[in-house]
Structure 1
């Protein structure tokens, strides 16, 4: 993981007394292992749009893909600010994670090939993509690939309850 560690803070307003700040490297391990993420984008009229999707952590950022005419891709043409969330649907175990940042289109074929391999490694051969003309090509057609480098991230621990905030300076991931 390039760069230095983020500024890490435990927010005592939302944490039990015995809670400690979550470790960013452990959060990265959770992001790497998570299978489902929820992506929040903003529609041109300002309304939120939330959808589940697959994502891979690679080289200090989360990456996802979508067809160029899907709602999330159309939203990103107007506003690249996004939130990706993952975690557990349980009350007393696990750690939910929230990553905020800007979704930047990945067009470099070498980077896209590395990401295509990461998808196959993580999700299996049914998630194999060709790389052509700065995008993924798969059974569903052409897919744009986006990278979200965390600007701010949050970890919501359970048992004990604790809220950790990680803040990143540009290029610190």
Structure 2
């Protein structure tokens, strides 16, 4: 991983462990705002809120197969994830790929359920008594987000701004 200090006030670079720990503590949580940015086929941007999940050092989210974000990802998996965590604003750049492994789908469902959303795996995606009003009918697809670059801006001491570039 490469780290670059973006702070213009003389603060030290933020350690990646601070961002990682904030994601561990804040995901999934309904009060943690997370937005997925994708690109429409005509090149226009699209942004939508998602329920992001941290599991074993990896990031996951769900989407109904008929939603704009799922259709965008099918055409172009490049995307961004933006979130406001405790003491840190974080923007992630990478790609999303649909999860089809039934064992992993079960683990993702269990973690969402432990976080308060009563999700279950049906072997293809997730089902639950409810989801976002715009999610469409279940089952909802699960996506794995592969991280390339992250930008963090501390909103609490110690302050700073940092870019982390990851080897994939």
User: TM-score under structure 2 normalisation?
Assistant: 0.84
**Structure 1 gaps, min length 5:** 1-5
User: Tell me, which stretches of 5 or more residues in structure 2 are unaligned?
Assistant: 27-31, 130-136
Secondary structure of the residue aligned to 1:118 is helix
Tell whether the 8 Å contact from 1:106 to 1:145 is kept in structure 2 after alignment.
yes
Whether 2:3 is the aligned partner of 1:8: answer yes
Aligned match for 1:136, one of 120, 126, 135: 126
Q: Give, in angstroms, the shift of residue 57 of structure 1.
A: 1.1
Q: Normalized against structure 1, the TM-score is what?
A: 0.82
Q: How does 1:63-102 map to 2 (within 5 A)?
A: 63-87=60-84, 94-102=87-95
Partner of 1:114: 107
SS in 2 for 1:102: strand
* 2:16 corresponding residue in structure 1: 24
- Hey, what does 1:166 align to over in structure 2? 164
Give 1:36 shift: 2.4
Question: What is the number of equivalent residue pairs in this alignment?
Answer: 155
Question: Which stretches of structure 1, 4 residues or more, deviate above 4 A after TM superposition?
Answer: none
Assess if the C-alpha contact under 8 Å between 1:16 and 1:160 holds in 2: no
Matched, 1:152 2:142: no
- Measure the CA separation in 1 of the matches of 2:146 and 2:13: 21
Deviation at 1:135, TM superposition (A): 1.2
Distance 2:87 2:128 in 1: 33
The residue number in structure 1 matching 2:132 is none
2:51 is aligned with 1:58: no
